[in-house]
Chain A
Amino acid sequence: MKALILVGGFGTRLRPLTLTKPKPLVEFANRPMILHQIEALVKAGVTDIVLAVNYRPEVMVSVLQRYEKEYGVTITFSVESEPLGTAGPLALAKDILAKDDSPFFVLNSDVICDFPFEALRDFHVQHGQEGTIVVTKVEEPSKYGVVVTKPGATMIDRFVEKPVEFVGNRINAGIYIFNPDILTRIPLRPTSIEKEIFPVMASDCNLHCFDLEGFWMDVGQPKDFLTGTCLYLASVAKRSPEQLASPSESYVHGGHVLVHPTATIGKDCKIGPNVVIGPNVVIGDGVRLQRCVLLDSVRVKDFAWVRNSIVGWNSSVGRWSRLEGVTVLGDDVSVSDEIYVNGGSVLPHKTISANVTEPKIIM
Chain B
Amino acid sequence: MAVKAVILVGGPSRGTRFRPLSMNLPKPLFPVAGRPIIWHPIAALAKVKEVTEILLIGFFEDFVFRDFLDACSMEFPNIHFKYLREYQALGTAGGIYHFRNEILRHSPESFFVLHADVCCSYPLAEMLAFHKQQGRKGTIMGTRVNRADANRYGCLVADTDTYEVLHYVEKPESFISNLISCGLCLFDYTIFDTFHAALDSYSRMTNEDDNCNQTDEAYGVLRLEQDVLRPMAAQHDLSVYITSGFWRQIKPAGSAVAANASYLEQMLHERPADLANSQAQRAEIIGAVYIHPSAQVDPTAKIGPNVSIGPRVTVGKGVRVKNSIVLDGVEIKPFSCVLNSVIGWRSKLGTWCRVEGTPEVSQHDAEGLTRAGIKNQSLTILGQEVVVADECIIRNCIVLPNKELRNCYHDEILM
Contact = CB atoms under 8 A, between A and B. Distances in A.
A213 interface: no
A268 B339 contact: no
Nearest to B339: A338
A268 B391 contact: no
A340 B391 contact: no
Interface residues of B, number: 18
B320 interface: yes
B335 interface: yes
Contacts of A288: 335, 351-352, 391
A285 B318 contact: yes
Contact of A268 (B334, B337, B356, B395): B334
A318 to B, nearest CB: 11
Interface in B2-37: none
B54 interface: no
B140 interface: no
Nearest to A324: B393
B364 interface: no
Contacts of B320: 303, 319-320, 338
A294 B86 CA distance: 65
A355 B340 CA distance: 13
B115 interface: no
A319 B300 CA distance: 12
Main secondary structure of the interface of B (DSSP, over half): strand
Interface in B266-307: 300, 302
Interface string A314-331: 000001101010000000
A305 interface: yes
Interface residues of A, number: 16
Contacts of A338: 320, 322, 337, 339
B230 interface: no
A285 B302 CA distance: 14
B85 interface: no
B317 A305 contact: no
A338 B317 CA distance: 16
B317 A268 contact: yes
Contacts of A322: 337, 354, 393
B300 to A, nearest CB: 8
B204 interface: no
A340 B317 contact: no
Interface in A111-140: none
A357 B352 contact: no
B132 interface: no
B171 interface: no
A320 B351 CA distance: 12
A302 interface: yes
A8 B208 CA distance: 86
A305 B391 contact: yes
Interface string A250-269: 00000000000000000010
A304 to B, nearest CB: 9
A286 interface: yes
A322 B339 CA distance: 13
A303 B318 contact: yes
Contacts of B352: 270, 288, 303, 305
Contacts of A302: 318
Interface of A: 268, 270, 285-286, 288, 302-303, 305, 319-320, 322, 324, 338, 340, 355, 357
Given A270-B351, A355-B356, 6 more contacts: A288-B391, A303-B320, A305-B391, A319-B320, A338-B337, A340-B356
Q: Which 10 A-B pairs have the closest CB atoms?
A: A286-B318, A320-B337, A286-B335, A303-B318, A320-B320, A303-B335, A288-B352, A305-B352, A322-B354, A302-B318
20 contacts: A268-B317, A268-B334, A270-B351, A285-B300, A286-B318, A286-B335, A288-B335, A288-B351, A303-B320, A303-B335, A305-B335, A305-B391, A319-B320, A322-B354, A322-B393, A324-B393, A338-B320, A338-B322, A338-B339, A340-B393
